[in-house]
Amino acid sequence: MKREILAVLLIVLSALFLGFFSYYARISQELASLPLAIFLRFLIPMVFCLFFLAFRSLKELFETNIKVQIVRGFWGIVAQYSLFYSLRGISLLDATLLLNTSPLFIPILAWLFLKKRIEWRTGIGLIVGFFGIILVLKPTEGIVNLYAFFGLLAGFSAGTSQVCLQKVSKESKVSTNIFQWSLWCLLFSILPLFAMEPVLHFKSSPGWMFLIVFLTLGIFSFGNQIFRSWGYYLAKNPVNLAPLLYLSVIVSGIIDWVLYQSLPDIFTIAGAVLVVIGAFLSQYNKRSKERPSF
């Protein structure tokens, strides 16, 4: 019982960290260009990761399907670029909600690439969830907000990365998967950094504010990842905890209201409810039979 309560608390912390991560992802772009912000977003958590996993052997951290981990890292970096870019033009609530549409893409991708059958309950959940996405996107006169499109791309990319994780989760330890994701995302973030910016582009002179913002961004990023992985590890059935992650949407909405005086309209609220219901239904029938080692 104590184990399950701790798992719930860890997932709630993960959701809170994700909500604040979105806020710092937005303001980080006021201090640095997008490629530099993304690079630092992965560099700082990687330092935390190396410290956290210092007791693991190098061989242990590479005992996995490297090819799948590379693909997972690629889609992870696509998700982050899409999320950061979307935050330039839509609210924190909308960006966080669209990022959290990933559970709606996972069953479809798992069916296409892992040959997993889509259950009837999952199908209903997908229909409900994607109708919710339409309400959130609010297309008018056939035009969809470009920033909202990138928010949805973040959700799709995160879902693709998650399918890759499902592929290797039975053969790799949780700590190995955390390290591999951090490593490949960091390496992929280096390519656009130097391809697009031979000279690092700071929007303001690096100082205490720069350090505080990116250090806090890294803490919220790493905390979200560690708390979620640890919570799922402790839970008897991790899928039952998945709806708690949508607390991050509420946190983002509160930040929008307090700092930007922005409140969601009725379409966004209705769409958010449908996305959460759809995501829950699409994941509900799954049961975790094996608990990977940490």
What is the per-residue pLDDT across 47-83, written as a single tens digit (0 to 9) for each? Answer: 999 988 888 888 888 989 999 999 999 999 999 999 9
Task: State the Cα–Cα distance between residues 289 and 269, nearest whole angstrom.
Answer: 35
* 251-266 mean pLDDT: 91
- pLDDT value, residue 7: 86
CA distance 265 to 55: 49
Mean pLDDT within 122-148: 79
Cα 104 to Cα 280: distance, rounded to the nearest angstrom = 9
**Selection from 115-119, 215-219, 234-238 with the highest mean pLDDT:** 215-219
Query: What average pLDDT does range 209-233 have in this prediction?
Result: 91
Query: What confidence tier does 157 reach under pLDDT thresholds 50, 70, 90?
Result: very high
How would DSSP label each residue in 74-137? HHHHHHHHHHHHHTTTS-HHHHHHHHTTHHHHHHHHHHHHS-PPPPHHHHHHHHHHHHHHHHHH
In the predicted structure, residue 45 carries a pLDDT above the cut 70: yes
pLDDT at 123: 85
pLDDT at residue 141 is higher than 50: no
Per-chain mean pLDDT for the chain: 85
Over range 192-208, report the average pLDDT: 68
pLDDT at 265 over 50: yes
Other beta carbons within 10 Å of 149: 16
Domain boundaries, the chain: 2-284
Q: Is the pTM of this model over 0.85?
A: yes
Length of the chain: 294
Which pLDDT score, from 0 to 100, does residue 233 have? 81
Write out the two tokens for 185: 């995302």
